[in-house]
Structure 1
Amino acid sequence: MRASGVLRLLALVFAVVTTCMFIRSYISFSVKTIRLPRWLRPATKEIRPVRSKCGLSKPCPGNFFAFKISSGAANVVGPSMCFENQVIMSPVKNNVGRGLNIALVNGTTGAMLKHSYFDMYSGDPNKLVKFLKEITEDTLVLVASYDDPGTKMNDEAKNLFSNLGSTYAKQIGFRDSWVFLGAKDIKNKSPFEQFLKNDPKTNKYDGWPELLELEGCLPRRIP
């Protein structure tokens, strides 16, 4: 091949390569720079997760109260209670204690009436009995154990809890776990209750059964 032919071939190859590089560069530049202004872009709807009261997995119907009750974990982490998205007892609020933690709520309005805790290991069980006897009609009773709910609980207190709808009150003993929601003079046993016996063979913690958690929707009482 003559020298002139080689030169023409090289010139052609150079021209083709240069053209391809130019086109590629131009297309890339166009893609990167030609964008719609923000006001012309399609609006993207922000999706926010729906949060139910007290962190329930599903929201409660309009005429129902949302609640969540957690027992204590051994003698380390205290119990907690949430009612209608209001935390009424918890270690953070520093209003829980060893034994039985009890909150009273108006069954019609959902208003918090009062709360207290009773030492069932070395305290006076008569204080608990007095507290339970003063509960009036249309009152919801939320209960959570912490450490030891049963050593000092006497038969009178157990009967009073049974009248509030508890199935397991008469079985509660040393270091059992218990969460419960009942009401004054309930006709049937409450469906809102969990109980776990202190058993060295099944205990999750060293000397205590595992934490219990109770949540759900409770119908408002119609005045």
Structure 2
Amino acid sequence: MRGGKCSRRYVNVVSVSPAELLLKYVLVLVSAAVLLTVLLQKYSIPFKDELRRALSDGLQKSGPASRAPSKGPCDMARDCPEDHFSFYVRSGAANVVAPKICLRNKLVLGSVLNNAGPGINIVTIHGKTGDVLKTAHFDMYSGNVKPLVEFLKSIETGSVVLMASYDDPSTKLDEEARKLIAELGSLSVKSLGFRDNWVFVGGKGASVHSNFEKYQKNEKTKNKYENWPELIEIQGCIPKYLD
């Protein structure tokens, strides 16, 4: 107020219709959504790649798990996914130390159980449950190959088969037996010779070559036990059989 007179200021008010307000609101939301999408694309793709790589490496690596190895009869040092079975197979040493086969850190074939012997030692398990179906050993030096052939023919589709040699696995091993074992996924059985060491895990109906196989040839100049090669072993995770 100056000189007793009142001064007034007038402000122009621009009226905005509800439709215009709604349009502005929608534009703001669209802009925010576009910005968020760009940020997610920029930062989530590397994360997904790292996660995928980590999962792939974790399932494919054959090294021991982080936990300490067991101190029982099974020298297993790995954990397996829930849809897999852990296994350990060790061949015999010369004609002195019997082989052993373990499943889920439990001994299922070995001298302690009195179910291992010279020749080819076999354990069959149910491909879905992991239950042991049969254990057997067949003398391939002084025995007969027919019981082995009959056993191999009796294995049901979907079964997992674990094998380990002891002393001599091949003298009586004929072409029919070799073919039946090859059908389980073995490659080395075709060349298995006198006193060679061999361990193998395969499956009936798998129709693929198994990655779970080791073969040590009997060569006197390289043998650890003079007339026998060094013992060999494999361990890993067997996927459950799915229909």
TM-score after normalising by structure 2 = 0.69
Q: Are the equivalent residues in 1 in contact too, given 2:170–2:192 (CA < 8 A)? A: yes
Map 1:1-223 to 2 at 5 A.
54-223=74-243
Distance 1:203 1:55, change over 3 A: closer
Query: Matched residues in 1 for 2:224 and 2:88: separation?
Result: 22
Shift of 1:58: 2.5
* SS of match in other structure, 1:92: helix
Alpha-carbon contact 2:78-2:236 (below 8 Å) kept: no
Q: Is the CA contact 2:223–2:230 (under 8 Å) kept in the aligned structure 1?
A: yes
Q: RMSD across aligned C-alpha pairs, in angstroms?
A: 1.5
The secondary structure found in structure 2 opposite 1:156 is helix
- State the match for 1:4 in structure 2: none
Partner of 2:38: none
Q: Distance in 1 between matches of 2:219 and 2:205?
A: 32
Residue 143 of structure 2 aligns with an amino acid whose one-letter code is: G
Taking the aligned partners of 1:119 and 1:131, their CA distance within structure 2 comes to: 13
The CA deviation at 1:95 is: 0.9
Give unmatched runs, 5+ long, in structure 2: 1-66
Question: What is the aligned-residue identity percentage?
Answer: 47
Shift of 1:218: 1.1
Matches of 2:184 and 2:147, distance apart in 1: 17
Equivalent position amino acid for 1:156 in 2: E
Give 1:120 shift: 0.1
What is the rounded CA distance, in whole Å, between the counterparts of 2:143 and 2:106 in structure 1? 29
Taking structure 1 as the reference length, the TM-score comes to 0.75
3-state SS in 2 of match to 1:181? strand
CA distance in 2, matches of 1:184, 1:117: 18
**Distance in 2 between the 1:79 and 1:212 partners?**
10
The separation in 2 between residues aligned to 1:50 and 1:118, in whole angstroms, is: 35
> Following TM superposition, by how much is the alpha carbon of 1:50 offset from its aligned partner in structure 2, in angstroms?
5.2
- After the TM superposition, list the runs of 4 or more consecutive aligned residues in structure 1 that deviate by more than 2 angstroms: 49-58
Size of the aligned set, in residue pairs, is: 175
CA distance in 2: counterparts of 1:134 and 1:168, whole angstroms: 22
